[in-house]
Chain A
Amino acid sequence: MDISKETLFDLHHRMVRIRIFEEEAGKLMESAKIPGALHLYVGEEAVAAGVMCNLSDQDQITSTHRGHGHLVAKGGDFKKMYAELYGRSTGYCGGKGGSMHISDMDLGMLGANGIVAGGPPIAMGAAFANKYKGNGNVAVAFFGDGASNEGAFHEAANMAATWKLPLVLCCENNGYGEFTPQANHQAIKDVADRAVGYGMPGVVCDGMDAVAVYEAAHEAVARARRGEGPTLLECKTYRFFDHVGIRGIGLSYRSDDEVMEWKKRDAIQAIEKRMIEVGVATAEELAAVHDRVKIEAAEAIAFGEASPWPDESTLLKDVYNND
């Protein structure tokens, strides 16, 4: 597949937005400016960017507890995101949700989720609606290696295959569920192996290479749009930080050497190298992308911090739709 210059810039921009959003969010958490715990996506940017470059705003996704990257890659608004992390009225959930509950229905982002494997059945339902309406849209469920052991995931996969739904099940295999290495939670190495059991194709790709993810997702999404049913797309990736927070090394359940090895394959550095080598971008142009996103983040953080707190009366609102 020939990758256009525009696509390379698009992938790069989405990844840089995720990285900077997350690093800044991590700092806010560490300095206790925002409450609660954040599961950061740093290291896994290529997956969200590579998949989302194939989707329109009408295509839907479900996200996870590690959800900021998915929304950012789908075009999420930094201002509403940071405001939500601050718990302000201007946030995506008006301060009612926080990091793990952000959704943007206009972008087809059906929600981060504090319940592991809460997403796949919902994405499957969106795919069902797409097929029923014949609108040509595709739904993507993101989930981790750990989540692939939950019953909810298996049910959704089986149903999607049986009904040939336009769904992509995108496994972000980062080798761990919390502190438990993959080998201690499943007897397989490739989650994609399970596809055979559901009757759908299973594809493994390098989740540290945005172009590889883009290409693999391209085929899975196209297949879904053609009405040929779901694909289980597994992206091998790694989170640079701990399960929660920004500490990356000195952790009891994984070695620093392992972290360093994966960091050598940093997806942003890799795509920048490639773009410069093939001559589509200069180092200055790429640095300018970072600078612009840093400004975007700084403005959004200022917006979040300056936004009003939610009014207590909103607490009791919106339990039902009473229109």
Chain B
Amino acid sequence: MAVATVIEAIRSTLDEALEADERAFILGEDVEAGGVFRVTEGLKAKHPAQVLDTPLAESSIIGVAIGAAHYGLRPIAEIQFADFIHAGFDQLCSEASRWCYRTKGDSWLPMVVRAPWGGGVHGGQHHSQSIEAFYAHLPGIKVVAPAFPADYRSLLKAAIADPNPVLFLEHKRTYRLIKQEMIGAPAETVLGRARVTRQGRDLTILAYGLMLIESLAAAETLAAEGIDCSVVDLLTLQPLDVETILESVRTTGKALIVHEDTLTGGLGGEIAALIAEHAFEFLDAPVRRLAAPDIPAMPYHHAMEAFFMPDRDKIAKAARDLAAY
């Protein structure tokens, strides 16, 4: 594989997982035909027993994964759009998240739930949602949200290997947009580590998914203006890599957290609180958050969608203000 898109990175990792371990199987709506984003295209033909269409039943898709994982299989469930996962919230929140805890560690659930999330595709109210904060609020569940194809590969591999339930979020806008040179097997990694993607002196931008890509673009613009940003890719949202976050902010003294999710109750609040608690004396400015406004859903109209979503220009502006503080 030379240059791969996000889709290709995910597909090849799934293919390798099914090949390597017959306990691994994919289930979800229309996955046999490749799914609506064609992520699982070709996998049914290659691994007929390991790719299974399900009825429309999100709660039971996750329930099957729980039961199967408990009995030693390695389910990889697909929820067609993250927006559709909520019927399965109960299975994740009330059941999967506490499985290990309530069995005193005797039982665990090596399961993955993949879901395309995020906006920027004119999907409107039910096809654009950021759901990460609901699920990152569930200790016992891990939440992963990569940005670059190579990270999709290594983190999906790690998610499948992880003995805990993992919600693996795939930003649908980046599926075919973001490409990367990729050679050989995925880099070995574990969940729960952030990465300083760009090292700078003046301030730290913390982001994930599409917003990480936008933040890097903003950092380039700002560099030309003499503002030197660090950009941290959070990669795993639960558990957060607190050390990497704090270390970067302690170095720069300023933090801007960016997410596409709405502001109130979003992950930015949690990260801001961590910084306030553990890096207060290093701060040269108040912690800033750039997020979508507090409205119930992504609007359909394209200019409104653009207004809703943070982007490189808004990030650059917020970072400029912060740098000037």
Contacts and interface: CB of A to CB of B under 8 A. Distances in A.
Contact of A95 (B32, B57, B58, B301): B301
A147 B58 CA distance: 11
Contacts of B57: 149-151
Contacts of B126: 100-101, 113-115
Interface string B97-135: 000000000000000000000000011111100000000
A115 B89 CA distance: 15
B125 A114 contact: yes
Interface of A: 35-36, 84, 87-88, 93, 95-101, 113-117, 146-147, 149-152, 177-180, 184-186, 252-253, 309-310, 312, 315-316, 319
A95 B300 contact: yes
14 contacts: A35-B300, A35-B302, A88-B301, A95-B300, A96-B300, A147-B56, A149-B55, A152-B87, A179-B33, A180-B30, A180-B53, A315-B295, A315-B307, A319-B295
Interface of B: 29-30, 32-33, 36, 53-60, 83-84, 87, 122-127, 293-297, 299-304, 307-308
A151 B296 contact: no
A319 B125 contact: no
Contacts of A96: 125, 297, 299-301, 304
Q: Most chain-B Cβ atoms within 10 A of its Cβ — which of A99, A100, A315? A: A315
Given A87-B302, A179-B30, A186-B55, A35 B87 contact: no
Given A97-B124, A316-B295, A177 B300 contact: no
Contacts of A101: 124-126, 300
A322 to B, nearest CB: 14
A93 B30 CA distance: 31
Interface SS of A by simple majority: loop
A116 B61 CA distance: 15
A303 B297 CA distance: 27
Nearest to A310: B301
Nearest to A150: B56
Contacts of B29: 177-178, 180
Closest 9 A-B residue pairs measured CB to CB? A114-B126, A98-B300, A87-B301, A95-B301, A149-B55, A35-B122, A179-B33, A185-B55, A98-B124
A186 B297 CA distance: 32
A35 B307 CA distance: 16
A151 B300 contact: no
A113 to B, nearest CB: 7
Contacts of B299: 95-97, 315
Given A35-B122, A87-B300, A184-B53, 6 more contacts: A35-B300, A88-B301, A101-B126, A151-B60, A179-B30, A310-B303
Contacts of A178: 29-30, 36
Contacts, number: 110
Contact of B33 (A116, A253, A310): A253
Given A100-B125, A152-B87, A316 B293 contact: yes
Nearest to A84: B300
Given A114-B124, A178-B29, A180-B29, A310 B304 contact: yes
A180 B56 CA distance: 10
Given A114-B125, A253-B33, A95 B55 contact: no
Nearest to B304: A315
B45 to A, nearest CB: 12
B54 to A, nearest CB: 8
Contacts of A252: 33
A91 to B, nearest CB: 9
Contact of B301 (A147, A309, A316): A309
B307 A312 contact: yes
B56 to A, nearest CB: 5
A319 B296 contact: yes
Contacts of A116: 56, 84
A312 B303 CA distance: 8
A113 B127 CA distance: 11
A321 B176 CA distance: 40
B95 to A, nearest CB: 14
A288 to B, nearest CB: 35
B161 to A, nearest CB: 30
B304 A312 contact: yes
Nearest to A176: B30
Contacts of B83: 114-115
Contacts of A35: 122, 300, 302
Nearest to A184: B53
A82 B124 CA distance: 16
A152 B126 CA distance: 17
A110 to B, nearest CB: 15
Contact of B294 (A117, A150, A253, A319): A319
B300 A36 contact: yes
A62 to B, nearest CB: 14
Contact of A114 (B59, B127, B307, B308): B127
Contacts of B33: 179-180, 252-253
B125 A97 contact: yes
A197 B256 CA distance: 56
B134 to A, nearest CB: 16
A88 B124 CA distance: 14
A178 B84 CA distance: 15
Contacts of B125: 96-98, 100-101, 114
